């Protein structure tokens, strides 16, 4: 990112003077998909691409927001933090400001310019990246940086759930806020206990593959999946005492699954229970350096998201199939909410160029437009730079 250019753009917009620069990453999820709202364990990591932001305090109550990626400037007053459909991306910062105040933290006027180096809607959680960026800016500018990161994470999720209206779990905000270089985060979404796990893939690396299929309608389908899981849980609770679907072991599930009469409801629950189980095995495999096993679990996870959870779609299925056909790829799967967006693949480091060429061509021939590829490390969480 050319920060000098971004800085001069900022001065063009808001005038000269001192300003502070922040970075907030995006995230990938290695495994544990669609279970963070079912009390499951997930294994995401922050990445080294994301959203940069420059900010300056104002002495009044105005908040001016501008983005280099989206041509929509927003100006709001702190006394008027209501969701507005025509404020587009600005609703994320507005939601964060709203809940910062609700949670008893100080807020104030500011001028902000952001620029991301991943496309919005790619499924790498650009929205959570922006939420944590703004939250950390307010933390540093108005709260002496004293608000614990986990609190900022919760505020980001709250903004998305109750301001923007997407009923996401906490995985994205947590991975982005709490990210650590070269570590995956094993997060128990039931109690927010977490552990950093070395992201050591020997002579392999992760390649991110963007289908360039926009995640249209994804928010409503996401909320629909959540409801289906709630329906499954309500039925299961009549037979066994559990708080979340992920409290069920795989053998519990096998015992009680016939009470889930509707196919879609049973399938969703089956994915959730087995995906949670896969996270445990995958974490062990990662710790033990058994990357072949990890790769196999990625493939199983994708198949389950395709066949049981129904959140993949032709583009994600194609890019994952193309990746898995490549000899030096040991496993690939969609990452994030699905319905388009990105997938990840574990690929032999010295074959990455060949891999990109092979998958890129195959995908274009079959789908009709280009995919994009990013090779980026696992990085630190949101911070002032």
Residues serving a catalytic function are 172
Minimum Å distance from CB 173 to ligand GLA? 8
Question: Residue 122 CB, nearest distance to ligand GLA (Å)?
Answer: 11
Q: How far is the CB of 187 from ligand GLA (least distance, A)?
A: 11
- Provide the minimum distance between the beta carbon of 171 and ligand GLA in the complex, in angstroms, as a whole number: 4
Toward ligand GLA, which CB reaches closer, 336 or 379? 336
Q: Tokens for 162?
A: 């109750």
Q: In terms of CB distance, is 171 or 178 closer to ligand GLA?
A: 171
Binding residues (CB under 6 A) for ligand GLA: these are 29, 33-34, 36-37, 125, 168-169, 171-172, 336-337
Are 137 and 385 in contact by the 8 Å Cβ rule? The answer is no
Vertex 204 angle, CA 200 and 207, to 5°: 105
Looking at the Cβ atoms of 111 and 172, the one nearer to ligand GLA is 172
Q: Write down the least CB distance from residue 224 to ligand GLA, Å.
A: 13
What 3-state DSSP class applies to 57?
strand
Provide the 10 A C-beta neighbour count for residue 317.
Answer: 17
What is the DSSP pairing of strand 74-77 with strand 44-57? Answer: unpaired
- 77 neighbors 109 (Cβ within 8 angstroms): no
User: Is the alpha carbon torsion for 247, 252, 256, 258 positive or negative?
Assistant: positive
Q: How far apart are CA 143 and CA 158, in angstroms?
A: 19
Q: How far apart are the first and last CA of the chain?
A: 13
Q: How many CA atoms lie within 13 A of 195 on its CB side?
A: 9
DSSP 159: I
In a 13 Å sphere around the CA of 299, the CA atoms on its Cβ side amount to 15
Rg, the chain, Cα only: 21
Q: Which of 108, 117, 124 is nearest to 53 (CA)?
A: 117
Our CB check for ligand GLA shows the closer of 107 and 122 to be: 122
Q: Provide the minimum distance between the beta carbon of 128 and ligand GLA in the complex, in angstroms, as a whole number.
A: 7
For ligand GLA, the closer CB: 44 or 379: 44
Which residue number, 33 or 362, has a Cβ lying nearer to ligand GLA? 33
């Amino acid at each position: 990112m050319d920060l000098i250019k971004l800085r001069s753009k900022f001065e063009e917009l808001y005038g000269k003077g001192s300003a502070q620069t922040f970075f907030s990453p995006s995230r990938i999820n290695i495994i544990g998909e669609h279970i963070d709202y079912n009390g499951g364990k997930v294994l995401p990591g922050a990445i080294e691409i994301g959203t940069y932001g420059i900010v300056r305090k104002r002495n009044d109550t105005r908040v001016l927001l501008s983005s280099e990626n989206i041509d929509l400037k927003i100006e709001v007053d702190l006394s008027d933090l209501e969701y507005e459909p025509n404020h587009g991306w600005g609703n994320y910062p507005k939601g964060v400001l709203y809940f910062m105040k609700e949670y008893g933290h100080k807020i104030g006027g500011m001028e902000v310019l952001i620029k991301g180096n991943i496309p919005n809607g790619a499924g790498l959680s650009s929205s959570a990246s922006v939420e944590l960026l703004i939250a950390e800016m307010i933390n540093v500018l108005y709260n002496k940086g004293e608000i614990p990161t986990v609190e900022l994470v919760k505020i980001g999720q709250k903004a998305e759930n109750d301001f923007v209206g997407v009923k996401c779990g906490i995985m994205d905000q947590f991975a982005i806020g709490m990210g650590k270089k070269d570590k995956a985060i094993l997060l128990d979404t039931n109690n927010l206990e977490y552990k950093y796990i070395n992201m050591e893939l020997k002579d392999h690396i992760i390649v991110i593959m963007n289908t360039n299929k926009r995640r249209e309608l994804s928010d409503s389908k996401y909320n629909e999946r959540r409801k289906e899981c709630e329906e499954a849980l309500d039925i299961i609770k009549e037979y066994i005492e559990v708080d979340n679907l992920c409290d069920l072991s795989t053998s519990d599930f096998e015992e009680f699954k016939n009470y889930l009469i509707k196919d879609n409801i049973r399938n969703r629950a089956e994915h959730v229970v087995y995906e949670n189980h896969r996270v445990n095995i995958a974490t062990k495999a990662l710790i033990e350096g058994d990357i072949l096993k990890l790769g196999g679990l990625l493939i199983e996870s994708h198949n389950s998201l395709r066949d049981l959870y129904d959140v993949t779609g032709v583009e994600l299925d194609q890019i994952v199939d193309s990746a898995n056909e490549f000899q030096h790829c040991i496993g690939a799967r969609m990452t994030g909410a699905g319905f388009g967006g990105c997938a990840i693949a574990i690929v032999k480091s010295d074959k990455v160029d060949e891999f990109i060429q092979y998958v890129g061509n195959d995908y274009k021939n079959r789908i009709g437009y280009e995919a994009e590829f990013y090779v980026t490390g696992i990085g630190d969480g949101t911070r002032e730079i």
